């Protein structure tokens, strides 16, 4: 009986009006204002600006509000309405149609969750696009929370829900941590991890070949090197950042990192566990684990090298077809402080996204 109840609840949460209102064609899809000046954004929860909104907090009421939205037929009016919002494509029609029934439910569930968790108008990509003079709705975000580089083909396919039928002049790409969240990175050798990541990148772009159709004057892929995740572990100002937390008057990101809240109330333990599970290899590592911190840094360095190799191969293969890739490695040098990190002690805040956008604009100042 309990299992049936859980399944019924999940179906209710995952299905409903999402398909009709945002489903396979997203929000604002097919409505490009300027076919010569639009942008697509591929990636993970950094490109969607997850957890950067004002209403996200590590509290039971906050969690209750989040899930309460799933039951309400007024979710769209209850959620903050942005006057000049970017376009979101949560999944494409082929992506949804080819999925098995349980994947359809999970896909819809993810789309609903994204409406509440993400604030894409805070994203560095949105800020960059607006600085280039791109219409807000012509900034097309196809990235998704929790995505890995293996999701690149599906995400690029979502771009074709837009009417031009080609890629835009610029595609921004950013994947930071999901490919290293598993604790196996602490047991495998760097060589093994690097080889696996290189193979995953190669496979992703090989599987994207049929959707690499450039814009009339060509398409540039701007690839951001993975942001340095060790910053949220080692930076003293971030560790001292005060956050809103269940049942506590004063909690810092440092408290969350070292597990100081694990023995609190049931609600506090739930919130601590939730924050810890976002990306376990990172969110469960703290400044008292220098060996693990260094391993994370080494793994990300290997990932950057893998991107460099892949980009060289892609440019050699597609340059004649007017498709080019550029790596923005400078974002690795960003020094974030407490105000640059969201209330989950992990994702960038609006100010953090501003810093990222400045580095991208320095490398690629105009469209």
Vertex 153: Cα angle to 152 and 154 (nearest 5): 95
The larger pLDDT score, comparing residue 38 to residue 85, is at 38
Quick check: helix, strand or coil at residue 341? strand
Instruction: Please give the pLDDT value at position 14.
Output: 43
Which residues are CB-contacts of 309 (< 8 A; sequence separation ≥ 6)?
198
The larger pLDDT score, comparing residue 272 to residue 64, is at 272
Mean pLDDT over the full length of the chain = 84
| Position 4 pLDDT exceeds 90 | no
| Position 8 pLDDT exceeds 80 | no
- Model confidence band, residue 179 (pLDDT cutoffs 50, 70, 90): very high
Instruction: Please give the pLDDT value at position 262.
Output: 64
| Position 127 pLDDT exceeds 80 | yes
Alpha helices in the chain (DSSP H): 2-14, 18-21, 60-71, 75-78, 93-98, 101-117, 124-131, 152-158, 190-206, 231-234, 236-239, 253-257, 266-276, 280-283, 290-318, 350-363
- Model confidence band, residue 139 (pLDDT cutoffs 50, 70, 90): very high
- Model confidence band, residue 21 (pLDDT cutoffs 50, 70, 90): very low
Vertex 53: Cα angle to 47 and 59 (nearest 5): 120
Instruction: Please give the pLDDT value at position 77.
Output: 39
Quick check: helix, strand or coil at residue 1? coil
The larger pLDDT score, comparing residue 112 to residue 329, is at 329
pLDDT digits (tens, 9 = 90+) for 145-170: 999 999 999 999 999 988 888 999 99
- Model confidence band, residue 257 (pLDDT cutoffs 50, 70, 90): confident
User: How do strand 242-245 and strand 248-252 relate by DSSP bridges?
Assistant: antiparallel
223 bridge partner residues: 173, 327
| Residues 233/185, Cβ–Cβ less than 8 Å | no
CA distance 361 to 311: 20
The larger pLDDT score, comparing residue 17 to residue 190, is at 190
Q: What is the mean pLDDT of residues 310-316?
A: 98
Instruction: Please give the pLDDT value at position 352.
Output: 97
Query: CA of 98: how far to CAs of 121, 163, 208, in Å?
Result: 30, 21, 17
Q: Which two tokens stand for residue 149?
A: 């580089």
Range of the domain at 14: 2-363
Q: What is the mean pLDDT of residues 11-35?
A: 54
pLDDT digits (tens, 9 = 90+) for 182-202: 999 999 999 999 999 999 999
Pick from 71, 79, 88, 82: nearest CA to 28: 88
DSSP 286: -
Domain count, the chain: 1
pLDDT digits (tens, 9 = 90+) for 51-78: 888 767 666 666 656 555 554 544 443 3
Quick check: helix, strand or coil at residue 139? strand
Q: What's 245's domain CATH number? A: 3.40.50.1110
Secondary structure of 17-63 as H, E, C letters? CHHHHCCCCCECCCCCCCCCCCEEEEECCCCCCECCCCCCCECHHHH
Q: What is the mean pLDDT of residues 92-120?
A: 77
């Amino acid at each position: 009986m309990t299992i049936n109840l859980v399944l019924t609840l999940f179906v209710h949460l995952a299905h409903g009006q999402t398909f009709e209102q945002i489903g396979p064609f997203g929000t604002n899809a097919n409505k490009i204002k300027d076919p010569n000046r639009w942008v697509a954004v591929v990636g993970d929860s950094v490109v969607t600006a997850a957890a950067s909104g004002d209403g996200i907090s590590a509290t039971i009421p906050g969690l209750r509000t989040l899930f309460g939205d799933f039951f309400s037929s007024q979710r769209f009016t209850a959620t903050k309405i942005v006057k000049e919002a970017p376009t979101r494509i949560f999944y494409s029609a082929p992506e949804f149609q080819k999925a098995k029934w349980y994947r359809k439910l999970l896909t819809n569930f993810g789309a609903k969750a994204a409406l509440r968790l993400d604030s894409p108008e805070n994203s560095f990509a949105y800020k960059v696009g607006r600085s280039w003079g791109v219409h807000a709705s012509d900034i097309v975000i196809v990235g998704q929370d929790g995505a890995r580089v293996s999701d690149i083909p599906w995400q690029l396919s979502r771009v074709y829900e837009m009417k031009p039928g080609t890629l835009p002049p610029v595609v921004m790409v950013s994947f930071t941590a999901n490919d290293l969240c598993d604790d196996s990175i602490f047991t495998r050798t760097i060589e093994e991890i690097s080889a696996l990541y290189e193979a995953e990148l190669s496979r992703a772009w090989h599987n994207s070949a049929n959707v690499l159709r450039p814009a009339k004057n060509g398409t540039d892929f701007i690839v951001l090197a993975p942001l340095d995740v060790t910053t949220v572990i080692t930076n003293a100002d971030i560790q001292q950042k005060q956050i809103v937390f269940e049942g506590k008057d004063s909690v810092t990101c440092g408290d969350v990192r070292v597990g100081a809240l694990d023995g609190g109330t049931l609600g506090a333990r739930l919130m601590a566990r939730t924050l810890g599970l976002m990306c376990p290899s990172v969110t469960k590592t703290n400044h008292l684990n220098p060996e693990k911190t260094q391993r994370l840094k080494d793994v990300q360095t290997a990932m950057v090298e893998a991107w460099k190799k892949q980009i060289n191969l892609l440019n050699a293969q597609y340059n004649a077809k007017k498709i080019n890739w550029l790596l923005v490695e400078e974002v690795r040098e960003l020094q974030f402080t407490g105000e640059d990190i969201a209330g989950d002690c992990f994702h960038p805040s609006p100010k953090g996204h501003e810093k990222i956008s400045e580095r991208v604009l320095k490398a690629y100042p105009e469209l």
